[in-house]
Amino acid sequence: MPKQKDHDPAKRPRRLHLVLGDQLDPQSAALADLDPDRDAVWMAETHAEATHVWCHKLRLIVFFSAMRHFRDELTDKGITVHYHELTTAPSKDRGKDFAEVLIKDAKKLKPQSLVVTQPGDFRVDDMLEQAADELDLELDVRDDEHFFNTPDQFAEWADGKKDLVQEMFYRRMRKRDHILLTKDGKPVGGDWNYDADNRETFGKSGPPSIRKRPHNFRPDDTTKNVIDMIEKRFADHPGNTNHFDYPVTRAEALTYLRDFVEHRLADFGPYEDAMWTDAPFLYHSRLSQALNMKLLNPRECIEKAIDAYENNNAPLQSVEGFVRQLIGWREFIRGVYFHQGRGYLKRNALGNDPDADVPSFYWDGDTDMACVKDVMQSVINHAWAHHIPRLMVTGLLATLLGVHPRKFHDWHMAMYVDAIDWASAPNTIGMASYGDGGVVGTKPYAASGNYINKMSNYCKNCRYHPKHATGDTACPFTTLYWDFLDRHRDAFKSNARMAFQVKNIDRKRQTGEIKQIRKQAKQLKQHMLGKANASA
Ligand code: SF4
């Protein structure tokens, strides 16, 4: 049937369906009722998205390449896609941010309304609302069905609770959606959580040979074009692009999932907290990028993991740990993000200096701390590190130094390939920095170099000693740990979970040992923070 001229989506779409870079799912709510004969899709790469934080080149490549592949998939299905590509010439941009480009395009296309799946970033949400207001168009914001909960469902659970405890939320999810439950509603295996079994470390010989991730995703022409553009236009951005191996299509993401379940899931649980020099991936899935861009659905990941358990290909402790990451932590932190609202990004419960930024080695890895150097190598090469280096190396050091939570958040958003605001903010401002004063974690994740020594081989190759708090060989983590407890002793004294640490710092105060620690910590902070601020 010939298309009616008024409804030719290439000329005047009825509805313009907006697809953001982290919404690459053809089944998404925004695309559910798209009629290719009457509606069109709108997507845009914008300079503002690439620069609102000093984005890692690999992160830009993965997003823009996956978006261009998604555009081509939709186009192949006969859907009209109005797509704004960044080029090496900034003068050719249609605008600097989503709002500007959308307003220009919508004025030309004259749709009757705009549709979008709920953005996972308040900043983007605000921009789209502003654009719709200026265009005087209805913006139909639909719940993101990729997740197991809507923000309202989370609020229903959270409202009235004194503390939001992830474990309680997780158990409720298991029960509500009947995941890893017996027929009579009990947890499979008898326990809800096998975390206590999942803190193995490697012996002196280190991890055994681990099958590498599939490296058959060599950049195709689309990705090569994006790499070329990024290397030219954003040449001064951090990160290395030589190690590109991320999935940028759903088919590739499914291959990554299958490879993880077959080759690494079994050992994921026991070693999920372990770290080892030059082995950034270990048994981790590294699926967070594909999940957060919606190339994968968490339900299919859970299904495949449970299949592996039921077919005796992976033990319960690994499968339960993986499931907990997806329906426990992932859903919980997204719920916290929307429940806490826009003000969450400004939280600074410990009163850190607003100008205290991450040290310069958070961008280039130039440090003599063996642990930080190794983690930063992974971040620079892969825009990725697993949850323990994120929380207990880079997150811990930033917290002990007194980096402002928002500055740490911005760094995290810039450097990790899987960082989306909803996923990052509760991890950075909440869990790592304790900037939210205890919403995500009931106590700060404060530890000395001893924790890193226990979970890795880093300290054996380091010029510092994890037990030394003062002197030339003092581990910066250990010095700063005592200094952190000393500075915040009064804030923590009534927290029952901090009682042991408060007692220890009181002992250091009584013996006078704290004086030398304070002096050394001050020098460290001046050296690390001063350097960062000087280069900012
Ligand atoms: Fe890191 Fe301290 Fe261990 Fe060195 S001694 S690797 S700085 S924890």
pLDDT tens digits for range 220-265 = 999 999 999 999 999 999 999 998 889 999 999 999 999 999 999 9
Q: Look at 196 and 397; give whichever has higher pLDDT.
A: 397
pLDDT at site 465: 98
- Measured between alpha carbons, how far is 354 from 346 in angstroms, rounded to an integer? 10
pLDDT of residue 215: 59
Q: What is the CA radius of gyration of the chain?
A: 24
Mean pLDDT of the chain: 94
User: Which of 79-88, 89-98, 149-158, 337-346 is predicted least confidently?
Assistant: 89-98
Q: What pLDDT, in 10s, does the model give residues 447-494?
A: 999 999 999 999 999 999 999 999 999 999 999 999 999 999 999 999
pLDDT confidence of residue 254:
96
d(CA 212, CA 472): 39
Give the C-alpha separation, 19 to 249, whole Å: 15
The pLDDT value recorded for residue 10 is 78
Give residue 27's pLDDT.
Answer: 96
Would you place residue 2 in the very low, low, confident or very high pLDDT band (cuts 50, 70, 90)? very low
What residue's CA is closest to ligand 1, atom 7? Answer: 369
Alpha carbon distance 27, 80 (integer Å): 16
Q: Letter for the amino acid at 422?
A: W
Q: Is 337 in the pocket of ligand 1 (CB under 6 A)?
A: no
Please tell me if the CB atom of residue 466 comes closer than 6 angstroms to any atom of ligand 1.
yes
What is residue 535's predicted lDDT score, i.e. its pLDDT? 36
**Which residue type is seen at 493?**
K
pLDDT number for residue 529: 92
Alpha-carbon distance of 348 to 104, in angstroms, equals 38
Q: Per-residue pLDDT averaged across 81-102, rounded?
A: 94
Upper half-sphere CA count for residue 210 (Cβ side, 13 Å): 22
pLDDT score for 387 = 95
Closest ligand 1 atom number to CA of residue 462: 4
120 or 200: whose pLDDT is higher?
Answer: 120
Distance 180 CA to ligand 1 centre (A): 39
Are 531 and 360 in contact by the 8 Å Cβ rule? The answer is yes
Q: How far is the CA of 121 from the centre of ligand 1 (A)?
A: 35
User: Measuring from atom 8 of ligand 1, which residue has the nearest CA?
Assistant: 449
Task: Indicate whether 3 pLDDT > 80.
Answer: no
- Residue 426 near residue 336 (C-beta atoms within 8 A): yes
Q: Residue 536: pLDDT band by 50, 70, 90 thresholds?
A: very low
What does the pLDDT read at residue 531?
Answer: 52
Q: Is the per-residue pLDDT at 533 higher than 90?
A: no
Q: What percent of the chain has pLDDT over 90?
A: 90
Q: What is the pLDDT of residue 195?
A: 85
- Dist. CA 371 → ligand 1 center (Å): 6
Q: How far is CA 444 from CA 428, 492, 495, 509, in A?
A: 12, 9, 10, 21
3-state secondary structure of 425: helix
Ligand 1 proximity of 122 Cβ (cutoff 6 Å): no
Greatest alpha-carbon span in the chain: 88
Range from 92-96, 160-164, 403-407 that averages highest in pLDDT: 403-407
Ligand 1 pocket residue status of 389, Cβ below 6 Å: no
pTM: 0.95
Find the mean pLDDT for residues 70-90.
97
CB of 452 sitting under 6 A from ligand 1: yes
pLDDT reading at 104 higher than 70 = yes
Q: Looking at the predicted structure, is the pLDDT value of residue 112 above 50? A: yes
Query: Is the CB of 476 inside a 6 Å radius of any atom of ligand 1?
Result: yes
State whether the beta carbon of 453 lies less than 6 angstroms from ligand 1. Answer: yes
Average the pLDDT over 48-57 and give the result: 96
- Share above pLDDT 70 across residues of the chain, in percent, rounded to a whole number: 97
Nearest CA to ligand 1 atom 2: 475
